[in-house]
Amino acid sequence: MSATRRKQSFDSTSNIQTQLQITYEPDDMIDDLIAEREKAINKISGEMEDVNALFKQMHTMVLEQGEKIDSIATNIQKSTDNVEVAKKEIIKADENSKKSCSIL
Protein backbone atom coordinates (compact mmCIF):
# COMPACT_ATOMS: atom_id res chain seq x y z
CA MET A 1 0.00 0.00 0.00
CA SER A 2 1.33 3.39 -0.88
CA ALA A 3 1.79 6.15 1.64
CA THR A 4 -0.98 8.21 0.06
CA ARG A 5 -3.38 5.29 0.12
CA ARG A 6 -2.49 4.49 3.72
CA LYS A 7 -3.07 8.15 4.63
CA GLN A 8 -6.48 8.10 2.90
CA SER A 9 -7.33 4.85 4.63
CA PHE A 10 -6.21 6.31 7.95
CA ASP A 11 -8.14 9.53 7.31
CA SER A 12 -11.21 7.49 6.39
CA THR A 13 -10.87 5.36 9.55
CA SER A 14 -10.26 8.48 11.59
CA ASN A 15 -13.36 10.12 10.11
CA ILE A 16 -15.46 7.05 10.93
CA GLN A 17 -14.11 7.03 14.47
CA THR A 18 -14.83 10.75 14.80
CA GLN A 19 -18.37 10.24 13.48
CA LEU A 20 -18.88 7.34 15.88
CA GLN A 21 -17.54 9.46 18.70
CA ILE A 22 -19.84 12.35 17.79
CA THR A 23 -22.79 9.98 17.55
CA TYR A 24 -21.81 8.29 20.79
CA GLU A 25 -21.31 11.48 22.79
CA PRO A 26 -24.86 12.82 22.35
CA ASP A 27 -26.20 9.42 23.42
CA ASP A 28 -24.07 9.67 26.56
CA MET A 29 -25.30 13.21 27.10
CA ILE A 30 -28.91 12.09 26.63
CA ASP A 31 -28.37 9.23 29.07
CA ASP A 32 -26.84 11.66 31.56
CA LEU A 33 -29.74 14.08 31.12
CA ILE A 34 -32.24 11.26 31.56
CA ALA A 35 -30.45 10.11 34.70
CA GLU A 36 -30.38 13.67 36.08
CA ARG A 37 -34.07 14.17 35.35
CA GLU A 38 -34.95 10.83 36.88
CA LYS A 39 -32.98 11.78 39.99
CA ALA A 40 -34.74 15.16 40.16
CA ILE A 41 -38.15 13.51 39.65
CA ASN A 42 -37.42 11.01 42.42
CA LYS A 43 -36.37 13.86 44.72
CA ILE A 44 -39.57 15.79 43.96
CA SER A 45 -41.59 12.63 44.46
CA GLY A 46 -40.01 12.08 47.87
CA GLU A 47 -40.64 15.69 48.84
CA MET A 48 -44.27 15.38 47.74
CA GLU A 49 -44.64 12.29 49.93
CA ASP A 50 -43.24 14.30 52.85
CA VAL A 51 -45.72 17.12 52.20
CA ASN A 52 -48.54 14.57 51.93
CA ALA A 53 -47.56 13.10 55.31
CA LEU A 54 -47.55 16.61 56.83
CA PHE A 55 -51.03 17.30 55.47
CA LYS A 56 -52.28 14.01 56.89
CA GLN A 57 -50.84 14.92 60.31
CA MET A 58 -52.40 18.38 60.09
CA HIS A 59 -55.75 16.81 59.15
CA THR A 60 -55.60 14.56 62.21
CA MET A 61 -54.71 17.51 64.44
CA VAL A 62 -57.58 19.60 63.04
CA LEU A 63 -60.02 16.74 63.65
CA GLU A 64 -58.78 16.34 67.23
CA GLN A 65 -59.03 20.07 67.86
CA GLY A 66 -62.51 20.11 66.33
CA GLU A 67 -63.59 17.42 68.77
CA LYS A 68 -62.13 19.42 71.65
CA ILE A 69 -63.88 22.58 70.49
CA ASP A 70 -67.17 20.66 70.22
CA SER A 71 -66.63 19.36 73.75
CA ILE A 72 -65.89 22.87 75.04
CA ALA A 73 -69.02 24.23 73.34
CA THR A 74 -71.11 21.44 74.87
CA ASN A 75 -69.67 22.17 78.32
CA ILE A 76 -70.38 25.90 77.93
CA GLN A 77 -73.97 25.14 76.96
CA LYS A 78 -74.39 22.80 79.93
CA SER A 79 -72.89 25.46 82.24
CA THR A 80 -75.26 28.08 80.87
CA ASP A 81 -78.22 25.75 81.42
CA ASN A 82 -77.05 24.99 84.97
CA VAL A 83 -76.66 28.70 85.75
CA GLU A 84 -80.22 29.33 84.56
CA VAL A 85 -81.54 26.49 86.76
CA ALA A 86 -79.50 27.80 89.71
CA LYS A 87 -80.79 31.33 89.15
CA LYS A 88 -84.40 30.06 89.25
CA GLU A 89 -83.67 28.09 92.43
CA ILE A 90 -82.10 31.15 94.10
CA ILE A 91 -85.14 33.25 93.20
CA LYS A 92 -87.42 30.53 94.58
CA ALA A 93 -85.33 30.26 97.76
CA ASP A 94 -85.42 34.03 98.18
CA GLU A 95 -89.20 34.04 97.77
CA ASN A 96 -89.56 31.20 100.27
CA SER A 97 -87.25 33.02 102.67
CA LYS A 98 -89.38 36.20 102.41
CA LYS A 99 -92.56 34.18 102.97
CA SER A 100 -91.19 32.53 106.09
CA CYS A 101 -90.04 35.91 107.46
CA SER A 102 -93.45 37.42 106.84
CA ILE A 103 -95.17 34.53 108.64
CA LEU A 104 -93.17 35.10 111.77
Residue 6 is predicted with a pLDDT of 47
Residue 77 is predicted with a pLDDT of 95
Q: What is the pTM of this model?
A: 0.48
Q: b/e map of 18-53 (b: 16 or more CB within 10 Å)?
A: eeeeeeeeeeeeeeeeeeeeeeeeeeeeeeeeeeee
**Amino acid in the structure at residue 55:** F
Report helix, strand and coil shares of the chain as percent, to nearest 5. 95, 0, 5
Residue 11 is predicted with a pLDDT of 54
Residue 99 is predicted with a pLDDT of 78
How confident is the prediction along the chain (104 residues), in pLDDT tens digits per residue? 454 544 445 455 566 555 555 555 667 788 888 999 999 999 999 999 999 999 999 999 999 999 999 999 999 999 999 999 999 999 999 888 887 766 65
